[in-house]
């Protein structure tokens, strides 16, 4: 992949939605060559694509309010999504493979663990020490710590640790290095030796037996990556961290069920493992996205790989502790998630994914992105015409599904607790509180789709300060 390949891209020109939309079509031969040689050719014009989608959502919503049969269209769509929802909640999740036994470690694959860090002096030492002392043969794995131009004591700490642990490799990126977290990972990738690559954030807290439990997934040749359940380490600190804890439980349930119905498993950045051959087949990490994990998720599935999910043990990370920090973080996640659909819609529409994955993806995009964005014109038209919002059936389905998923996720992640009446009441309360917390997504989604339609994106660092840690995150 060419270094700094985005620098030669054309900037967004005057908005022309129709020509922008039609220009996305090309011959199958050209698409195949693009898919294999330069996966990122479709990234130009995100702002124009986002504006076209936003205009379409408003136009469709207004039209449905004006025609007499608009409500019945929504009822029909709700019925179809409801069928998928029934499949979703009744599916039996796949069981995780047995962890590696002692005699199996002899022929276990080599693993490379990667940590990209910028100004992480408060947390980097604990993580590196843990990674260097995992319950896995020391000659079977290596740890790469990438100092991305830190201005605190991070470089000094890493250099000292490298003297203590021979299998720790430290790389200091130069001042002109770019590409954010993706650029840091891509820089060391050619120097790594592992068949499997694991990626962690600097504040991660990793269980000792993690590799023994993750590696067996890759015995399946179709598995291209595995995501480990994430858990909030400071979940009891305040309302926001408690909400994030419930949100992670919801996500773990949704991940398992989507995979169970033949849908899409997703990567979540921290605690992700990728097969080297799968990573290379779809172009390595994308340096032109603000969420490398979500972008890689789509490209792996487009290249016909599966993503597995490990429920236990979990990788713990620090949750943000204020509403402002949460707003910035969730805006980045929402924008990165939305970008991938604008970037790869042509490939998604073609036959690279199976029918099950396409149905799952369509339902997920409709409920998570399109419905919240349509809520604003729906509310405006409802007030104007003195009627209920026309998307009420879909919204009711979304809320019900979210409540059930969070409730079940909290049950599944509390395997150490006995499921009695008292605990069920406690879980119900946590779910209700979590649902109140989740309302912020209904503001984030329409906000980010509108902003992407009018605002050009530039590469920049945004510091995310976690109380007591001073954590940095890689952002554009």
Q: CATH number for the domain including 143?
A: 3.90.550.10
Backbone angles phi, psi at 183, to 5 degrees: -65, -40
Condensed to tens digits (0 to 9), the pLDDT of residues 268-310 reads: 989 999 999 999 998 899 888 888 999 999 999 999 999 999 9
Calculate the alpha carbon distances from 141 to 138, 167, 197, 212, 314 in Å: 6, 8, 10, 12, 20
Are 392 and 375 in the same domain?
yes
Are 278 and 411 in the same domain?
yes
Are 355 and 369 in the same domain?
yes
The tally of domains found in the chain comes to 2
Domain final residue, candidates 219, 246, 278: 219
Helix (H) or strand (E) holding 214: helix 210-214
- 373 CB-contact burial (10 Å; exposed 0-12 / middle 13-18 / buried 19+): buried
Q: Tokens standing for 328? A: 């910035």
What domain range includes position 180? Answer: 99-219
Q: Would you say residue 335 lies in a domain?
A: yes
d(CA 113, CA 457): 31
**CA dihedral of 178, 271, 38, 46, whole degrees rounded to 10:** -70
Are 377 and 308 in the same domain?
yes
Q: Would you say residue 16 lies in a domain?
A: no
Are 130 and 184 in the same domain?
yes
Q: Would you say residue 13 lies in a domain?
A: no
Are 160 and 299 in the same domain?
no
| Cis peptide preceding 313, ω within 30 of 0 | yes
SS3 42: helix
Q: Which residues of the chain have pLDDT under 70?
A: 1-44, 351-352, 415-417, 456-476
Condensed to tens digits (0 to 9), the pLDDT of residues 230-247 reads: 999 999 989 999 999 999
Domain final residue, candidates 167, 201, 219: 219
Domain final residue, candidates 219, 236, 266: 219
CB atoms within 10 A of CB 153: 15
Q: Would you say residue 12 lies in a domain?
A: no
Are 61 and 108 in the same domain?
no
Task: Please write down the long-range contacts of 348-351, taking CB distance under 8 Å and 24 or more positions apart.
Answer: 348/298, 348/302, 350/28, 350/31
Are 200 and 79 in the same domain?
no
Q: CB of 215 within 8 A of CB of 108?
A: yes
pLDDT at 378: 94
């Amino acid at each position: 992949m060419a270094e700094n390949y985005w620098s030669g891209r054309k900037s967004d020109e005057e908005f022309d939605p129709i020509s922008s939309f039609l220009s996305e079509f090309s011959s199958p031969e050209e698409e195949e060559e693009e898919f294999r040689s330069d996966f990122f050719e479709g990234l130009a014009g995100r702002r124009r694509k986002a504006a076209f989608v936003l205009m379409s959502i408003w136009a469709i919503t207004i039209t449905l309010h004006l025609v007499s049969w608009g409500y019945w269209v929504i009822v029909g769509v709700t019925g179809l999504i409801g069928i998928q929802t029934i499949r979703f909640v009744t599916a039996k999740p796949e069981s995780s493979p047995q962890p590696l036994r002692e005699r199996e470690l002899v022929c276990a694959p080599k693993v490379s663990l990667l940590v990209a860090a910028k100004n992480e002096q408060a947390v980097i030492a604990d993580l590196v020490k843990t990674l260097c002392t995992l319950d896995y043969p020391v000659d079977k794995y290596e740890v790469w710590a990438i100092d991305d131009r830190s201005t605190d004591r991070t470089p000094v700490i890493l250099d000292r640790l490298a003297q203590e642990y021979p299998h720790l490799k430290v790389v200091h990126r130069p001042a002109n290095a770019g590409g954010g977290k993706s650029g840091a990972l891509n820089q060391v990738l050619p120097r790594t030796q592992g068949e499997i690559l694991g990626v962690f954030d600097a504040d991660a807290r990793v269980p000792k037996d993690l590799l023994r439990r993750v590696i067996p997934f890759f015995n399946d040749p179709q598995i291209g990556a595995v995501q480990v359940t994430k858990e909030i380490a400071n979940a009891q600190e305040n309302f926001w961290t408690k909400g994030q804890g419930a949100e992670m439980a919801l996500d773990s349930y949704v991940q398992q069920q989507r995979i169970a119905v033949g849908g899409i498993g997703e990567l979540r950045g921290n605690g992700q493992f990728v097969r080297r051959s799968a990573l290379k087949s779809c172009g390595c990490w994308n340096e032109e996205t603000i969420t490398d994990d979500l972008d890689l998720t789509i490209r792996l599935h487009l290249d016909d790989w599966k993503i597995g999910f490990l429920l236990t043990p979990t990788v713990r990370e620090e949750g943000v502790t204020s509403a402002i920090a949460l707003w910035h973080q969730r805006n980045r996640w929402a924008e990165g998630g939305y970008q991938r659909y604008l970037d790869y819609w042509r490939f998604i529409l073609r036959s690279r994914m199976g029918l099950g994955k396409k149905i799952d993806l369509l339902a997920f995009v409709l409920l998570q992105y399109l419905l919240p964005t349509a809520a604003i014109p729906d509310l405006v038209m409802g007030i104007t015409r003195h009627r209920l919002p026309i998307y009420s059936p879909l919204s009711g389905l979304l809320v019900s599904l979210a409540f059930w998923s969070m409730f079940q996720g909290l049950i599944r992640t509390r395997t150490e607790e006995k499921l009695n009446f008292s605990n069920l009441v406690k879980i119900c309360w946590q779910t209700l509180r979590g649902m109140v917390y989740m309302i912020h997504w209904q503001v984030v989604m329409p906000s980010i789709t509108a902003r992407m339609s009018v605002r050009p994106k530039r590469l920049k660092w945004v510091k995310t300060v976690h109380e007591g840690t001073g954590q940095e995150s890689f952002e554009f």
